[in-house]
Amino acid sequence: MSVKSAPQTHTANADLAGEVDRLLAELGVKRSDYTEGTIVVRTPITGGIIGRVAEIGAAEAAGAIEQAHAAYLGWRLVPPPKRGELVRLFGEELRASKEALGRLVSIEVGKIVSEGLGEVQEMIDICDFAVGLSRQLYGLTIATERGEHRMMESWHPLGVTGIISAFNFPVAVWAWNAALALVCGNSLVWKPSEKTPLTALATHALFGRAVKRFNEAGGDAPQGLAAVLFGGREIGELLVDHAKVPLVSATGSTAMGRAVGPRLASRFARALLELGGNNAAIVAPTADLDLTLRGVAFAAMGTAGQRCTTLRRLFVHESIYDSFVPRLKQAYASVTVGSPLQGGNLVGPLIDGAAYRAMQIALEAASAAGGQVQGGERIAIEGAADAYYVRPALVEIATQTGPVKHETFAPILYVMKYRDFDAVLELHNAVPQGLSSSIFTNDLREAETFLSARGSDCGIANVNIGPSGAEIGGAFGGEKETGGGRESGSDAWKTYMRRTTNTVNYGRTLPLAQGVKFDVV
Express each pLDDT in 270-297 by its tens digit. Answer: 999 999 999 999 999 999 999 999 999 9
Alpha carbons within 13 angstroms on the beta-carbon side of residue 452 total 9
The per-residue pLDDT for range 435-459, each reduced to its tens digit, is: 999 999 999 999 999 999 999 999 9
Number of domains in the chain: 2
In a domain, 39, yes or no: no
In a domain, 508, yes or no: no
300 and 211 share one domain: no
The secondary structure of 406-428 as a DSSP string is S--SSSEEEEEEE--HHHHHHHH
Q: Which domain holds residue 239?
A: 54-274+491-500
At 11, the pLDDT band (50, 70, 90 cuts) reads low
- In terms of Cα–Cα distance, which of 481, 468, 372 is closest to 416? 372
87 and 223 share one domain: yes
pLDDT value at position 3?
Answer: 27
The sign of the dihedral angle between the CA atoms of 396, 402, 407, 409 is negative
pLDDT value at position 13?
Answer: 78
Q: Is 479 in a helix, a strand, or coil?
A: strand
211 and 357 share one domain: no
pLDDT value at position 5?
Answer: 32
The per-residue pLDDT for range 301-320, each reduced to its tens digit, is: 999 999 999 999 999 999 99
293 and 250 share one domain: no
The per-residue pLDDT for range 33-89, each reduced to its tens digit, is: 999 999 999 999 999 999 999 999 999 999 999 999 999 999 999 999 999 999 999
CA 153 – CA 499 distance, rounded (Å): 7
Find out whether 425 and 450 touch, Cβ atoms under 8 Å. Answer: yes
The per-residue pLDDT for range 167-191, each reduced to its tens digit, is: 999 999 999 999 999 999 999 999 9
Query: Is 318 one of the annotated active-site residues of the chain?
Result: no
Catalytic annotation, pick one of 108, 115, 274, 446: 274
At 7, the pLDDT band (50, 70, 90 cuts) reads very low
Stretch 105-128: mean pLDDT: 98
CA 350 – CA 409 distance, rounded (Å): 9
The sign of the dihedral angle between the CA atoms of 21, 88, 91, 157 is positive
249 and 344 share one domain: no
CA 40 – CA 230 distance, rounded (Å): 12
141 and 238 share one domain: yes
In a domain, 41, yes or no: no
pLDDT value at position 150?
Answer: 97
CA 229 – CA 421 distance, rounded (Å): 49
333 and 470 share one domain: yes
CA 467 – CA 296 distance, rounded (Å): 9
CA angle 25, 29, 34 (to 5 degrees): 100
Stretch 141-152: mean pLDDT: 97
376: left (phi over 0), alpha (psi -120 to 50) or beta: left
pTM assigned to the model = 0.95
Stretch 351-371: mean pLDDT: 98
In a domain, 268, yes or no: yes
In a domain, 13, yes or no: no
In a domain, 251, yes or no: yes
Find out whether 23 and 104 touch, Cβ atoms under 8 Å. Answer: yes
Residue 2 has pLDDT above 50, yes or no: no
Q: Is 400 exposed, middle or buried (0-12, 13-18, 19+ CB in 10 A)?
A: middle
88 and 221 share one domain: yes
139 and 263 share one domain: yes
214 and 288 share one domain: no
For residue 418, give the CATH number of its domain.
3.40.309.10
In a domain, 17, yes or no: no
166 and 288 share one domain: no
239 and 266 share one domain: yes
In a domain, 60, yes or no: yes
The per-residue pLDDT for range 224-267, each reduced to its tens digit, is: 999 999 999 999 999 999 999 999 999 999 999 999 999 999 99
Burial letters for 212-229: b for 16+ Cβ neighbours within 10 Å, e otherwise?
ebbeeeebebbebbbbbb
Q: What is the Cα Rg of the chain in Å?
A: 25
